[in-house]
Amino acid sequence: MLGLILKRTVHYTSYMLVFSLFLLAFAVNTASAFEVEIEYDPPSPEGLQEIEFKAVVKGAEAKSFLWDMGDGTKYKEQEFTHVYKRGGRTYDITLTVTDAAGKTVTKKMVIDILRRKGG
């Protein structure tokens, strides 16, 4: 009787181990998200100055972009030029990128817009 119990326990443990490894592999595969970075130029922008923004996506093919510039302006392009009308402020930028599989990654950053020199 003890041999039968041990045999069933070993089979059950083996099945559970295989099932756990499958779940772990699935979780790692679905959890691996792509990366998104925000690039902008010039590095120390002033109010009323054109700033070039670009979304850099690594690890996936981006399908859509949604930018919230923190001043009420929104964009749907990967690259664009934006002007903050008021210097001497900090703005919260949020970029949401969706890939072809429907996964989304949101990147947030803060940008300091300097007061315009000489004005």
Average pLDDT, the chain: 84
Q: Write the CB contacts of 89 (distance below 8 Å, at least 6 apart in sequence).
A: 47, 112, 113
Evaluate whether the domain defined by 36-113 bears CATH number 3.30.750.24: no
Question: In the numeric block, which tokens belong to residue 46?
Answer: 């002033």
Name the 3-class secondary structure at 27.
Answer: helix
The residues spanned by each domain of the chain are: 1-32, 36-113
Q: 27-76 pLDDT, tens per residue?
A: 444 555 899 999 999 999 999 999 999 999 999 999 999 999 999 999 99
Please report the pLDDT score of residue 118 as a whole number: 75
